[in-house]
Amino acid sequence: MRLEDILFSQGFGTRRVCAGLVQQGFVVIAGQVCEDPGEFFQPEGLRFAVQGMDWPYAERAYLMLHKPAGTECSQKPSTWPSIYTFLPGPLRTRPQKAAVQGVQAVGRLDQDTTGLLLLTDDGKFIHRMSSPKHHVPKVYEVTVKHELTVDQVERLLAGVVLDDDPKPVKAAACEAVTPLHLRLTLTEGKYHQVKRMVAAVGNRVEGLHRSAIGSLILPEDLLPGQWRWLSAADLALMSASKA
Ligand code: URA
């Protein structure tokens, strides 16, 4: 693939801008400045640097972000800053792939929810991870207002009825870690599901954090606002994840 096409596919600008970056000596591969935008490279496994920013070629982007509180999972946020502002420019301006409009969050977390969020421009991955049919478990650490009772935990496991559907929704797993800390595992992603389920058993969510999706656990060293590429091992864990 031509170097300018590689940069274009990764979101570094129009083909003309990408050719300019190369011609101006801003692109380094294996320690060498490359000045020919038409030079051919095998893209798979290629690492390069553009203006000092190290970049691994990725045909599709798969990322995790530690979402901080006070941010919206929307490209056009209404009140709070968008989570997309944490991503570097090329990930926000990658050319559209098939039906997917650039890199997008896989499902949404509320403004005040923190924790693990996946992002990708792979439409099939978004579908597989969000579809209730695939039963990918999401683990939430919930701080509640009132001390938890055995009855509340049992009702969450047995199923509660929410206002938009007569069919009860059940937690795939639920435990009181401490009297005010509930660990809840869900396989669907209904609107405000954790908050509504906890309210349905007579308690109230005071803090909500997603700690894992499938077997993928939010790494302790990924601080709020930080992101990283998913590794091949992370992706393998995700495709093996089922409740
Ligand atoms: N359930 C909620 O209520 N909010 C979230 O952000 C995620 C799950």
Give residue limits of the domains in the chain: 3-56, 62-133+216-239, 137-213
Instruction: Give residue 193 CA to ligand 1 midpoint distance, Å.
Output: 5
Instruction: Give residue 57 CA to ligand 1 midpoint distance, Å.
Output: 33
Instruction: Please state the atom number of ligand 1 nearest to the C-alpha of residue 108.
Output: 6
Q: Whose CA is nearest to atom 3 of ligand 1?
A: 192
Q: Would you state the pLDDT for residue 58?
A: 96
Predicted structure pTM score: 0.93
Instruction: Give residue 71 CA to ligand 1 midpoint distance, Å.
Output: 13
Domain 62-133+216-239 and domain 137-213 have a common topology:
yes
Which residues approach ligand 1 with their CB closer than 6 A?
109-110, 113, 192-195, 208
**In the CATH scheme, what architecture does the domain 62-133+216-239 have?**
2-Layer Sandwich (3.30)
Residues 53-87: tens digit of each pLDDT = 999 999 999 999 999 999 999 999 999 999 999 99
Beta strands 181-186 and 205-213: pairing type?
Answer: unpaired
Task: Indicate the fold that domain 3-56 takes in CATH.
Answer: 3.10.290
Beta strands 205-213 and 114-120: pairing type?
Answer: parallel
Instruction: Please state the atom number of ligand 1 nearest to the C-alpha of residue 197.
Output: 3
Q: Would you state the pLDDT for residue 243?
A: 56
Burial, 79: exposed, middle or buried (Cβ in 10 Å; 0-12, 13-18, 19+)?
exposed
Burial, 6: exposed, middle or buried (Cβ in 10 Å; 0-12, 13-18, 19+)?
buried
In the three-class reduction of DSSP (H, G, I as helix; E, B as strand; rest coil), residue 203 is classed as coil
Catalytic residue status for 163:
no
**In the CATH scheme, what architecture does the domain 137-213 have?**
2-Layer Sandwich (3.30)
What angle is formed at CA 136 by the lines to CA 183 and CA 55, rounded to 5 degrees?
100
Instruction: Give residue 87 CA to ligand 1 midpoint distance, Å.
Output: 22
**Low-confidence spans in the chain with pLDDT less than 70:** 98-99, 241-243
Q: Would you state the pLDDT for residue 237?
A: 81
Instruction: Please state the atom number of ligand 1 nearest to the C-alpha of residue 110.
Output: 6
**Residues 36, 110, 164, 221: which is the catalytic one?**
110
Structure tokens at 1: 């693939």
Contacts of 136 (CB under 8 A, 6+ apart): 128, 129, 187, 213, 214, 238, 241, 242, 243
